[in-house]
Amino acid sequence: MTDLLASLDDATLAANGPFDLFARWFAEAEAAEPNDANAMALATVDVDGQPSVRVVLMKDYDPRGFVFYTNLQSDKGRALLANPRAGLDFHWKSLRRQVRIQGPVSVVSDAEADEYFAVRPRDSQIGAWASAQSRPLASRAVFEAEIAEVAARYEGAPVPRPPHWSGFRIAPARLEFWQDRPFRLHDRVIFTPESGGWRVHRLYP
């Protein structure tokens, strides 16, 4: 692991901003975590005000935000379309690090969704058509029959992206980087947008 003080040095943070730090931490997580360094907890609130959280996989990120893909008719898809704000949490236990992100949500462009869908494994593409995600399923046999039907429908041809399948981008209005330190004297650094740049400040652990 890199030196903790160097990774959270105030001058470096102010100069480089949150995305350089995230890229560095994410690269280290990819090298250290045994599975899915891109896994992130996604928190949403539905139309009834009921919060919900689940783990999804980040598929892209840049200064515009953090992207994942899903069925728009799923529970999380409907919640985000109705209430387009979300929270994310990356927890890299082997590195004793956490990154929390909050902000508004938007649907990615059709071109972005098409580009990502085209590189998914074919069985995942078929599953995107066959699965009525989050809705009741009578039996596994019913689902397997639907998978077989979609596979037969597109046999010998590319599988197009379903119109109900796309991605969401969470634009960061707040990023918190948390680094474990002994005796719970942790480092917590917050970035918030300010005048075309980022304001950096610390929180007590």
Residues with a catalytic annotation lie at 184
Where do runs of H (alpha helix) occur along the chain? Answer: 4-7, 10-32, 75-82, 110-118, 122-130, 140-153
Tell me which residue of 34, 54, 87, 74 sits closest to 167, measured CA to CA.
74
Q: CA-CA distance, 47 to 201, in Å (whole number)?
A: 33
Q: CA-CA distance, 39 to 170, in Å (whole number)?
A: 15
Tell me which residue of 64, 62, 33, 10 sits closest to 200, measured CA to CA.
10
Q: Which two tokens stand for residue 195?
A: 């005048």
Q: CA-CA distance, 35 to 168, in Å (whole number)?
A: 23
